[in-house]
Amino acid sequence: MTLREQNVSQLKSTTFDALVIGGGINGAVSAASLAGKGAKVALIDRGDFAGSTSMHSSNLVWGGIKYMESNDFGLVRKLCKSRNHLIKSYPSTVQEIRFLTTITKGFRHSPRYLWAGTWLYWLMGNGFTKRPRLLSPKNIKREESIINIDESVGGFEYSDAYLHDNDARFVFNFIRHALDYGATAANYIESLGAKRQNDIWVIKARNIMDDSTFEIRAKVLINAAGPWVDHHNALTGEQTSHQHLYSKGIHLIVPQLTDSKRVLAFFADDGRLFFVIPMGNRTCIGTTDTHMEHPDAVVTDEDIRFVLDNINTRLTLEKPLTAEDIISTRCGVRPLAVQSNQGSERDFLQLSRKHVVDTNTDTAHISIFGGKLTDCINVGNEIAEALTQLGVTLPNADFQWYGEPAEQIKQQFMTQARRIGLDAMTPATSSEPLSTRLWRRYANKAFAMLEQIEANPRQAELLIEGTEYIRVELEHARDHEMITELEDFLRRRAKISLVVHHEQLRHSKGLKEACRVLFGDQAEARLAAYFDRNANTLLSGTAAEV
């Protein structure tokens, strides 16, 4: 019986303290926090974990410098502190990175004015990062030769942070924490609605994989469905003080434009910040900001033109980027929290990504609106507090449910890795040593991988050409990461489909072997299903599910 099958069985037979609907960042940290503090918690998602907004981010963990222009200093201060806390809690994953921002003629503020703003930003972050710098056009060109300075009047450099790996992987590791703490979680389980009966929520659920239905029981229902929070509240008849507006954002993944480990920032034609973000041996560029009436979003030709036009204007590349250079896309909606009585008339460009925890004490129902990766630890702690206020006892209320293992444990891992010569086995296509990558992605669970590699060096073989993933990782994903569809691995546990051309994957012999590891006798069927689903979709960017 697979891990998912075990958990689906538990969903049917247990009455939980809380059921979390949605496995994006808000749901993942809610489940990890509650399970770590001793609650009996379950989580379901109608698709895969981190399958929507949480896998379409910029991979940035930042204090919201843009909110300073709207004088939202309280939010900026909170986000800066959250960013600092994540850097300290996840030093292998959340890392400081420099942002080099270029200002062109005619912009609404001068470089010196904005530079002064970065100093205020630095102070609001307690001086935790490197200090800002003011740059002349000449210095900008010296440090980043690909930047077009023809219209530049100067710029500045400051620090924020980014996810060294991938947003979806970061989210899944909270799911993994929740499972380790005793939570029950299953992907591809859809909530069809819920009713309150005798102080218990009874949720009608459907197993997407076999179309069977069953009931789940929980004392508290937590709606963390991301962009679909309002939709699920309608299913359960919940009235809330907040609702969502939607803003679509896309990114394009292209070949590496610069090998510098910094973010290049510009102000796009619409006035928004526009980024060139390092992604290993690839570059991520974007984003857009398009008002949407619903949470389902796809990449359009207009979106692509906007991003390419902006990047080609601001960089001096040997050959302008075209649609032919696009390896993959990211496309999702930002769920923006507004008060219900504000309707859709608010200017969404002025809205922040703040989160709101909306609790109905009469029905023991919690809705989480808005939010972003930077603020995730606060969300988890606030959900634990809300559950306590609803009368659920948390036996380990003071338990710290997040963060990497202690430095001493990391050094034990590195010592063992050196003893078996792990880094000498690093595939040539890897962007970093195997020891660094295995620790960052798997932490304590990487010890077992070392043992398997030492016993059988074939476990360190690269399976999929042009990637970094070795056999032992595929076996670990099969046994511990609830890989239900091939895309779960290619796009979310790993980032392979982001950085490898679709057609290259289609003809990959290594991918066929990886499928055999993941799915056994079902390998060919799962492989065919993946490419059928993505037929004629080299630029697949649909914001899929909760």
Closest among 315, 286, 49 to 175, alpha carbons compared: 49
CB-neighbour burial class of residue 35 (10 A; exposed 0-12, middle 13-18, buried 19+): buried
> Each residue of 405-421: b (16+ CB within 10 Å) or e?
eeeeebeebbebbeebe
H-run or E-run covering 158? strand 152-163
Question: What does DSSP assign to residue 492?
Answer: I
The one-letter code for the residue type at 343 is G
The two structure tokens encoding residue 18? 């809380």
> Which residues are registered as beta bridge partners of 63?
none
pLDDT on residue 346: 47
Per-10-residue mean pLDDT, the chain, length 546 = 96 98 98 98 98 94 89 93 97 97 92 94 97 97 96 96 95 98 98 96 98 98 97 95 94 95 91 90 92 93 95 95 96 92 56 88 97 95 98 97 97 98 92 95 97 97 93 97 97 95 93 96 95 64 32
What confidence tens digit (pLDDT) does each residue in 243-291 have?
999 999 999 999 999 998 999 999 988 888 899 999 988 999 999 989 9
Q: Please report which helix (H) or strand (E) contains residue 205, including its range.
A: strand 200-207
Q: Decide: helix, strand or coil at residue 104.
A: strand
Sequence-distant (≥ 6) Cβ neighbours of residue 446 within 8 angstroms: 413, 438, 439
The domain 68-165+245-339 having CATH identifier 3.30.9.10: the answer here is yes
Q: How many residues does the chain have?
A: 546
Report whether 97 contacts 162 (CB < 8 A).
yes
Round to whole Å and give the CA distance between 29 and 517: 30
Task: Report whether 337 contacts 510 (CB < 8 A).
Answer: no
Q: Which positions ≥6 away from 342 have C-beta within 8 Å? A: none
Helix (H) or strand (E) holding 19: strand 15-21
- Residue 109: how many CB atoms within 10 A of its CB? 13
Closest of 474, 540, 545 to residue 510, by C-alpha: 474
CB distance 401 to 33 below 8 Å: yes
Separation of alpha carbons 281 and 254, rounded Å: 9
Q: From the CB of residue 293, how many other CB atoms can be counted at a distance below 10 Å?
A: 8
Closest by Cα among 361, 377, 386 to 240: 361
Looking up tokens 């056009």 gives 137
Comparing C-alpha atoms, which of 32, 301, 262 is closest to residue 155? 262
Which residues, at least 6 apart from 528, have a Cβ–Cβ distance to it below 8 Å? none
Q: What are the distances in angstroms from CA 232 to CA 22, 27, 213, 223?
A: 10, 14, 17, 7
Question: What pLDDT, on a 0 to 100 scale, did the predictor assign at position 350?
Answer: 58
The tens digit of pLDDT for each residue in 480-513 reads 999 999 999 999 999 999 999 999 999 999 999 9
Contacts of 106 by beta carbon, 8 Å cutoff, 6+ apart: none
Domain 3-54+167-241+340-390 in CATH 3.50.50.60? The answer is yes
Residue type, position 189, single letter: I
- Residue 348 is predicted with a pLDDT of 53
Q: Helix or strand or coil: residue 201? A: strand
Cα 272 to Cα 174, 264, 346, 381, distances in angstroms: 31, 14, 17, 32
